[in-house]
Structure 1
Amino acid sequence: MSEVAGCAQVRLGSPVGRAVITAAVLGSGMTLLDGTVVNVALRTIGRDLDASLAQLQWITNGYLLSLASLILLGGSLGDRFGRRRVFVIGTVWFAVASLACGLAPTPVVLIVARVLQGVGAALLTPGSLAMIQGTFHRDDRAQAIGSWSGLGSIAAALGPFVGGGLVQYASWRWIFLINLPVAVVAVVVAQRRVPDTRDPEAPDEFDVTGALLATLALGGTTYALIEWGGPVAPWAAVLAALAGLGFWWVERTSRHPMLELGIFADRNFSAANAMTLLVYAALGAVLFFLVLQLQTVGGYGPLRAGIATLPITLCMLFLAARGGALAARIGPRLPMTVGPLVMAGGTLLLLRAGPGVNYWTDVLPGLTVFGLGLALMVAPLTATVLASAPDEHAGIASGVNNAVARSGSLLAVAALPVAVGLSGAEYADPVAFDAAYRSAAMVCAALLAFGGALSWVTIRNPSGRG
């Protein structure tokens, strides 16, 4: 397909429109799948590779760290060189790193491979959404984003299900190797059917210093949280603080910043990203703790623990696009308020999951309520973020929101185990883990409730809606 600058006029029901959605969902779906699929396999990986709790956290957080740190740079590269082109490069990179993950012989090698996997995700993730924003007709974007978020979130929700089956009946290594054929299909569809879009005013220079400082800030914070109490943790916290200040200064003074701070002047953009941080912190922590709770305390096997999360998948499959359509009619404020509050209620219901857990009464109701809230919130949140930024900054806007979401999950998974008193090999101790799970669930419910309240106070509907 040829390259176009700015916004094309592709319609949702056209063959090209379907191809754009397909490629975007396949690519971003891989990254979302790998963000959740590993949780089901953590106990098996820990046993197979003799990994500690800190190493298991890094297997999860190493991926999130590089993804969150570099996703803004990935958005900038897409705006400059073509969103489809960078998307394809990131997809290939992700597939090669997935192969390295699948062949890793030690925890350290797996952690390094996961970091590299996150680099590929940082290239393809903003490109997947920016392709939609840059190619679809304005009248079709909200529905296209709803379809993308719904189908992509299904991949995230399918992670525990697919991962459980692979871990139980094959090997945990296949949760990474399965990405290879998916990547091939995504690249073929993108190369043959998707037009390339870019920002004609994007600068030739790139903010490598900003990317490095962002990585140091997030990496130092993550290390300090995971290794809290160790001799190096205070120094890591100091490094993170200095790097964070340096990042702000560089972005403020650079001629070509990785993050254009001016986009935060829009109230909806800033509010939506603040809510994203809270909600995705809770989302990442709930998935991390629940799957381990069902295995460690409830006695579930990997497959059964994965199947347990199926209600979230079904809610996203049938209702996410409807959530986007509803927000298009009444405005995003109400869905972005009610969605997190419903998710908080579902999280509290999941407190029933404990020793002797009964799936139908202790797990299914909570996950169903949680999934309903998620389906109501996801598409309006994404559409609000993109609608608050100019079309030429679609890549940066998408990158900011993705970075915030991944940072929320990263920090929650790093901080909550320490905050609730879980350390060492206690992730395999049913009594210790059960107590930690209950404390973590309460924290997550509070974060979700606060996110809903924040949306009600700060989000403004477009004129004439709501």
Structure 2
Amino acid sequence: MSKTRLPWIAAAASFGFFVTQLDVTIVNVALDAIGKAFDAPTAQLQWVVDAYILALAAMLLSAGAVADRAGPRRAFVAGLLLFGVASAACGLAASPLMLILSRVAQGAAGALLIPPSLALIAHAAHGDDRKRASAVGWWTAAGGVSIAAGPVLGGLLVETLGWRWVFFVNLPVCLIGAVLTLLVAPPTPAKPKVPFDIPGQAMAVAAVSLLVGGLIEGGHRGWAGAPLMALIAGVVLTGAFGLFERRAEHPAMPLGAFRERPAWTAVVVGSALNFTYYGLIFVLGLFMLRALRWSPSRAGLAFLPLTATFIVSNLASGGLVARFGARAVTTAGVLIAACGYVLTARLGAGSGLAEMLPGFALIPGGMGLAIPALTSGLLASVDKHDAGAASGALNACRQVGGAAGVAIFGALAGRDVVSGLHASALSAAALLVGAAFISAGAPRFFRPTTAG
């Protein structure tokens, strides 16, 4: 296959990441309307959001294994169609329970979009590090745009067409993505036929569900009791999963790949980036609404500057990786984001948007450089037949990191949002400095290359 088709394949793959990330944030602004429509209590409304995140995180590893065995193209198109069906079910829901269950289905379908979309890019790049890094930059930019645009688009849809359209809007996106994929992406090879590791997959799903569920409930209800027990059980089951996979004849997760420094570096640094970003965005939203007393629409619009910086840095990342290597670009991006968090820690109850902008530029700017670089470094370090499982593991860990950030930073901001913002921002900066040391110490994170 000619590499000239790679931009089109990257565009098709980006539809999947766009729609999965869009549904992380677009629903938030519709919760009030949903609550009024169903007379639903706050706990049910929280699970309209959390059920999607939980299912997405829990199913990512299994989705990667499915993508490798079925072939990335087939799995990706199936995921888009299933996501469209689940979105329609959400829009047609007649009760809170039906909506929550449909969100679970939507999250599971969303998990089937992320690993195969990255595997499509890995296959199309033919080992060309520069082209792969550039394509991953476009893919990541699509996710960054959708996360930032979600609250704005959701607000417009709720005010004009009604809350059900925050789900119906996914249907044309899924259809266009599926058609484009079938037109531009040739059939991708499936992994040699091996038995599906059902016990391993079940352990992985249970472990991630317990960890993410414990973090979500801990942020809502406090850390004692059931949330703490869920977290302990999740950690124990994660350890048991690792021991089981070492002895499995056909493991669900290519643990051999994660013995290499580039692979586990990508997981650790990626989890730290999601932990800090999702946690701080959550606290910043509370800060704007409670401390600054902004309206929801004004707060949503205030996040738009993040989108522009994400796009620029995502698209610049590929060329910088080709020139300086993934290790250098990842490390620099992490440190830039850390500087943004330090600046954010200076905000107070009298701050305005102008004082937020330096941090709002540096945080997504650094993340936009780092995430494509570390993702491309991961794909370069594993066999292409394991690309789906490896990217599934990376993104599952990132989702767990994001849920942990929201829970922990949200708890810090629970009593006083201003002091909570300061503590969260400084903690985020310190964590990223540690992540930068890990990235800088990865001697085999792939070096600068020239296009082949």
Which TM-score applies when normalising by structure 1?
0.86
Q: Secondary structure at the match of 1:206?
A: coil
Choose the corresponding residue for 2:200, options 210, 217, 225. 210
Distance 1:321-1:163 versus aligned 2 partners, 3 A rule: same
Of 2, 20, 36, the match for 1:10: 2
Partner of 2:83: 94
* Residue 165 of structure 2 is aligned to residue 165 of structure 1: no
Structure-to-structure mapping, 1:277-288, within 5 angstroms:
277-288=271-282
Does structure 2 conserve the Cα–Cα contact (< 8 Å) formed by 1:386 and 1:398?
yes
Moved more, 101-110 or 313-322: 101-110
- Given candidates 414, 422, 426, the residue that maps to 1:438 is 422
Amino acid at match of 1:311: P
Q: Please give the TM-score of this superposition, normalised by the length of structure 2.
A: 0.89
Does the 8 Å CA contact 2:283/2:409 hold for their aligned counterparts? no
Task: Indicate conservation of the 8 Å contact 1:271/1:459, yes or no.
Answer: no
Matched, 1:33 2:52: no
Give 1:147 deviation, angstroms.
2.4
C-alpha contact (below 8 Å) 1:308/1:363 kept by paired residues: no
Give the equivalent residue in structure 2 for 1:289.
Answer: 283
Which residue in 1 is equivalent to 2:310?
316
1:61-119 per-residue CA deviation (whole Å, 9 max, x = no partner) reads 32222222221221121121121111111111112222233344555444333222110
Whole-Å separation in 2 of the counterparts to 1:19 and 1:254: 38
Partner of 2:245: 251
Give a deviation string over 1:21-70, Cα, whole Å, max 9, x none.
22111111101222233445556656766666665554443222222222
Equivalent residues of 1:346, 1:369 under 8 A apart: yes
**Mapped contact 2:214–2:227 kept (Cα < 8 A):** yes
Once the two structures are superposed, residues 310-338 of structure 1 have per-residue CA deviations (whole angstroms, 9 ceiling, x without a partner) of: 22211222331211211111112222112
Quickly say closer, same or farther: Cα 1:220–1:79, change in 2 above 3 A. Answer: closer
Counterpart for residue 223 of structure 1: 213
Whole-angstrom distance in 1 between the partners of 2:334 and 2:300: 23
Deviation at 1:267, TM superposition (A): 0.9
The alignment status of 1:273 with 2:257, answered yes or no, reads: no
| 1:73 and 2:66 are equivalent in the alignment | no
Unaligned runs of 5+ in 1: 1-8, 423-430
Does structure 2 retain, via aligned residues, the 8 Å contact 1:39–1:287?
no
Contact 1:59 1:114 in 2 (8 A): yes
Against the structure 1 CA distance between its residues 348 and 86, is the aligned structure 2 distance closer, same or farther, given a 3 Å change threshold?
same
Separation in structure 2 between the aligned mates of residue 449 and residue 71 of structure 1, nearest angstrom: 28
Aligned amino acid, residue 393 of structure 1: D
**Higher mean C-alpha displacement, 257-266 vs 139-148:** 139-148
- 1:260 maps to a residue whose letter is P
Select which of 102, 111, 114 maps to 1:122. 111
Shift of residue 301 of structure 1?
Answer: 2.9
Residues 1:147 and 2:133 are matched in the alignment: no
How many Å apart are 1:287 and its aligned residue? 2.2
Candidates 391, 395, 413, aligned match of 1:402: 395
Once residues 349 and 389 of structure 1 are traced to their aligned partners in structure 2, the CA distance between those partners, rounded to angstroms, is 37
Amino acid at match of 2:378: V
Pick closer, same or farther for the CA change 1:341–1:433 going to 2, 3 Å.
Answer: same
Whole-Å separation in 2 of the counterparts to 1:103 and 1:296: 33
**Hey, what does 2:231 align to over in structure 1?**
237
1:25-64 aligned at under 5 Å gives the runs 25-41=14-30, 55=44, 57-64=46-53
Deviation larger for 449-458 or 234-243: 234-243
Q: Offset of 1:268 from its aligned partner?
A: 1.0
Alignment match, 1:427: none
Whole-Å separation in 1 of the counterparts to 2:36 and 2:422: 24
**1:396 Cα deviation after fit:** 1.5
Using the alignment, how far apart are the partners of 1:159 and 1:54 within structure 2?
A: 22
| Alignment length (residue pairs) | 443
Contact kept, 8 Å, 2:279 with 2:410, in 1: the verdict is: no
SS of 2:188 mapped into structure 1: strand
Please say if residues 216 and 239 of structure 1, whose CA atoms lie closer than 8 Å, have aligned partners that are also in contact.
no
**Alpha-carbon separation, structure 2, partners of 1:215 and 1:51:** 29
Per the alignment, in what secondary structure is the counterpart of residue 113 of structure 2?
helix
**Pair 58,253 (structure 1): closer, same or farther in 2 beyond 3 Å:** farther
**Matched residue, 2:256:** 262
Give, as a single letter, the amino acid of the residue that structure 1 aligns with 2:440: W
1:416 paired to 2:406:
no
- Residue equivalent to 1:134: 123
Give the letter for the 1:145 counterpart. Answer: V
Code of the residue aligned with 1:199 in structure 2: it is A
**Percent same amino acid among aligned pairs?**
35
2: CA distance between counterparts of 1:264 and 1:385?
A: 9
**Deviation, structure 1 residue 170:** 4.6
Q: Secondary structure at the match of 2:256?
A: helix
1:344/1:168 CA distance change after superposition, 3 Å: farther
Partner of 1:4: none
- Residues 269-292 of structure 1 deviation map (CA, whole Å, 9 limit, x = unaligned): 111111111111111112222233
CA gap of 1:269–1:231, structure 2 versus 1, over 3 A, is: closer
Q: Runs of 5+ in structure 2 lacking a partner? A: none
Structure 1 residues 175, 464: closer, same or farther in 2, change over 3 A?
closer
State the distance in 1 between where 2:378 and 2:255 align: 14
Deviations 1:149-182 (A, max 9, x none): 2233322332233234334555443322211111
Contact in 2 for aligned 1:168/1:303 (Cα 8 Å) = no
Give 2:360's aligned amino acid. L
Kindly indicate whether the alpha-carbon contact (under 8 Å) linking 1:206 and 1:258 is maintained by their aligned counterparts in 2: yes
1:135–1:197 contact (8 Å) kept in structure 2: no
